[in-house]
Amino acid sequence: MATWSNLNFQNSASPLMEQIIFFHDHTLIILIMITILVWYMMLSLFFNKYINRFLLEGQMIELIWTILPDIIKIFIALPSLRLLYLNDELNNLLITIKSIGHQWYWSIEYSDFKNIEFDSYMIQEFNLNNSFRILDVDNRIIIPMNNNIRMLITATDVIHSWTVPSIGVKVDANPGRLNQISFFINRPGIYFGQCSEICGANHSFMPIMIESISMKNFINWINNYS
């Protein structure tokens, strides 16, 4: 989870989030190199006392500063497109979970199992017991780790956004439309998210809480819930 002093990405809990962090670092290095080059050229021109009176045009330099940005954009665009298509992959799915946004809570339905559906409300401050304020919920989304999970996301009233930063997932929940995303959590733990679309007065109070557990514990949870 993010803390007050965290200026970077949250620690990744999925291969997709790892790729997003790698792409961010890759793009940031390119931008830093461009910034240093531009500042060097600006300072060298500022302190240069010599001029070329006979310079009317520079076709070579114009050719360079036309082609070079295109090459740089290719180095940024290709990893970006690869990441975009990785985000939409839906292969070898184990289970499907449906999340429905309301003002201001989430309804969760396990589509592959009968009678497993519940509402997920934020725990109020006066009921907190060693929990995180504005992040903990009364009913968590339980999923097995090391498996591909599909989330179907929609809403009943206004536009919400189902977002869990540590697994690299952010999907709009639109009324009358069913959006889908898949993710793969590669380690056990509890991961927090929130609605990322301003959806009304209590927009800040509809968190998302995912608990990743082993397959054995997941089966036990399914059996106990049923």
- DSSP 8-state assignment for residue 125: G
Domain 95-225: homologous superfamily in CATH: Cupredoxins -  blue copper proteins (2.60.40.420)
Q: According to the model, what pLDDT value does residue 124 have?
A: 83
How do strand 207-213 and strand 141-144 relate by DSSP bridges?
Answer: parallel
Whole-angstrom distance, CA of residue 151 vs CA of residue 122: 20
Q: Are 125 and 114 in contact (CB under 8 A)?
A: no
Q: Are 136 and 205 in contact (CB under 8 A)?
A: no
Residues 6+ apart with CB under 8 A from 186: 13, 14, 15, 145, 146
Please report, for the chain, the start and end positions of each structural domain, with discontinuous segments joined by +. Answer: 15-48+57-88, 95-225
Q: According to the model, what pLDDT value does residue 226 have?
A: 65
Q: Which residues in the chain show pLDDT less than 50?
A: none
